[in-house]
Structure 1
Amino acid sequence: GRRCRCGAQGCLEAYAGAEALLARWREAGGRPPAGADEETALAALVAAAYPGDGATADPAAVAVLEETAEYLGAGFADLVNLFQPERILVGGWAGLLLGTRFLAAVEEHARAYALAYPAARVTMGMGLLGPEAVTVGAAILPLADFFARGGRREESGPVGEAPAWAETVRERAAR
């Protein structure tokens, strides 16, 4: 598989991440704007695949997005089969830029690859938190922890022997 930026090979991000979409578009003969940042270049890919005003779509851009929809659909199918979620939301700047037209193709592939029972019970849609969804989600974690404890501070001192993984997490947080 393709080399991912994490160092592994064959990761979904190596095929469906924004950087990978642009690389695959270039390999297929597409021409992102010279010197453009990743967001601008991805917007150009989407515009090339889905032009307005009756213009002709760039076949390379269409092929890359169709292939990517299948990859993401297969990835979503794995999530559906393993975890049986009620809902899958696509967000982040790249997901929002690709939009609902792209999501419809992803959902079609996900349902084709997933087991029928869990696939019938999941809905897929666009996230509503905007391009900063990851940041908003991370900001909510301390609040969720606070409210889970009923608004009380964490008790000091271990009640029993802490598991080994907990000590590792504390050490990493202290760095």
Structure 2
Amino acid sequence: VALAVLEETAEYLGAGLSDLINLFQPERILIGGWAGLQLGTRFLPAVRRHAATYALRHPADKVNIDLGKLGPDAVTVGAAILPLADFFAGGGRRPEPAAEDRLPAWRAALRQRAPH
């Protein structure tokens, strides 16, 4: 019974991936996480087969569905890359500090005490 449930899950995963393939036409889809790492090698061929069955032929021919190789640290590594992606998207330079018109704290305190 458990095997039948996992095979049905592989079909549903393939059908869901086919929607992503049709919409975004990716070159590669990586399956990871603890479930992907534990069950992926056994069910990956079925997921690929179902994704190709449900997706449009043209985008399905161009996509590779593989298992992620980063292991359980994939989320952590992905989060660590976000600041780097932002840095490189900005041309590899730090943003210029915004010009501030604020007064020093001592001067602002004097202005608040002075009669208007």
In the superposition, the TM-score normalised over structure 1's length comes to 0.53
The answer for unaligned runs of 5 or more in structure 2 is 100-116
Are the counterparts in 2 of residues 88 and 124 from structure 1 also a CA contact under 8 Å? Answer: yes
Q: Is structure 2 residue 91 aligned with structure 1 residue 150?
A: yes
CA distance in structure 2 between the partners assigned to 1:95 and 1:146 by the alignment: 31
Distance 1:151 1:81 in 2: 34
What is the identity percentage for the equivalent residue pairs of Structure 1 and Structure 2?
73
More deviation in 92-101 or 136-145? Answer: 92-101
Larger radius of gyration: 2
* TM-score (norm: length of structure 2): 0.79
1:93, 1:132 within 8 Å by CA — same for their partners in 2? no
Q: Which has the higher contact order (CA 8 A, sep 6+)?
A: 2
User: Displacement of 1:146 after TM fit?
Assistant: 1.3
- Gaps of at least 5 residues in structure 1 are 1-59, 159-175
Give a deviation string over 1:70-102, Cα, whole Å, max 9, x none. 110011000000000001111112111112221
Q: Which has the higher helix share?
A: 2
Q: In the TM superposition, what are the counterparts of 1:100-119 in structure 2 within 5 Å?
A: 100-119=41-60
1:86–1:121 CA contact under 8 A, matched in 2? yes
